[in-house]
Amino acid sequence: MPDDIKRLLEQCVSRYNQPAFIPDDPISIPHRFSRLQDIEITGFWAAMLAWGQRKTIINNAKELIRLMDGAPYDFIVNHEEKDRARFLNFKHRTFQATDTLYFLEFFQQYYRQHDSLEDAFARHLRPSDPHVGPALEGFHDLFFSLPYAPERTRKHIATPARKSACKRLNMFLRWMVRRDDKGVDFGLWRRIRPAQLLMPLDVHVDRVARRLGLLERKQVDWQTVLELTDRLRAFDPEDPVKYDFALFGLGVLEKTTGGLP
């Protein structure tokens, strides 16, 4: 059975880890850019908005780009306080103006001192660490280190310290860290190893993983993410999260898991 599951997953990775996957996925947002910082900013923001209908996520992320004059990094670094007024009507589900303004403030302070968002994660991670958990915790603490960080915004940046599955952050790290020749993930960051990545676990991936016998834990939380990733490492220890394409594809893109073994 494990060999059959691996064969199925490998086939689905090959099917979905292709450029045709990009246009209808939030990863299409950072693919609009070629500059590292533009990819990081729009990728992070699109990932943090990634709950709900994918079409709505993409449209709202495009609106953010428009509000940043189509040049996110230049806007982030150079805008003045008065320029933030244009964002007051932006919202995506429970992500509202207060959250948007804090994201702008954090990004401006950060990018005025650092070239890449990679350091905000990688500084907390040792090469010997088995997974990115310490990077996620460290990033969360850094993100909310400004003295006026709104309490309400914390719900939009997950952390393992709260036992969260951290789906959106793990997805963003997959985009930035995974590298192959397929053209979907960017593979721009080198201080985090693909082997350290963890699965972005949402309800669709969770459902398919259980149907395939890859999960036993009943809850959907941080420990569940570790369990699933460990199971997938048995199939590919150097690149376990490539199977996100397979589980997501089976769970969402085909709209059915009726054909699963």
pLDDT digits (tens, 9 = 90+) for 142-169: 999 999 999 999 999 999 999 999 999 9
- Report how many domains make up the chain: 1
Alpha helices in the chain (DSSP H): 2-16, 36-48, 54-67, 72-78, 97-111, 118-122, 133-143, 167-177, 203-211, 222-233, 244-248
Place of tokens 């806007």: 75
Q: Are 41 and 73 spatial neighbours (Cβ–Cβ below 8 Å)?
A: yes
pLDDT digits (tens, 9 = 90+) for 86-120: 999 999 888 999 999 999 999 999 999 999 999 99
pLDDT at 87: 95
Place of tokens 């990634």: 50
pLDDT at 254: 61
Model-level pTM? 0.95
What are the CB-based long-range contacts (under 8 Å, 24+) for 70-73? 71/38, 72/33, 72/37, 72/38, 72/41, 72/42, 73/35, 73/37, 73/38, 73/41, 73/111
**Neighbouring residues of 133: CB distance < 8 A, sequence distance ≥ 6:** 160, 198, 222
Is residue 16 one of the residues assigned to a domain? yes
The torsion of the CA quartet 20, 21, 24, 29, rounded to 10 degrees, works out to -100
Is residue 260 one of the residues assigned to a domain? no
pLDDT at 51: 85
98: containing domain: 2-253
Residue 256's CB is within 10 A of a number of other CB atoms, namely 8
Is residue 191 one of the residues assigned to a domain? yes
pLDDT at 257: 42
Is residue 258 one of the residues assigned to a domain? no
Take residue 84 and report the two structure tokens written for it.
Answer: 């933030």
Low-confidence ranges of the chain (pLDDT < 70): 1, 253-261
Strand, helix or coil for residue 206:
helix
pLDDT at 106: 97
Is residue 235 one of the residues assigned to a domain? yes
**Neighbouring residues of 90: CB distance < 8 A, sequence distance ≥ 6:** 60, 63, 64, 67, 96, 97, 100
Is residue 259 one of the residues assigned to a domain? no
Residue 54's CB is within 10 A of a number of other CB atoms, namely 14
Distances (CA, A) of 156 to 59, 132, 207: 19, 18, 23
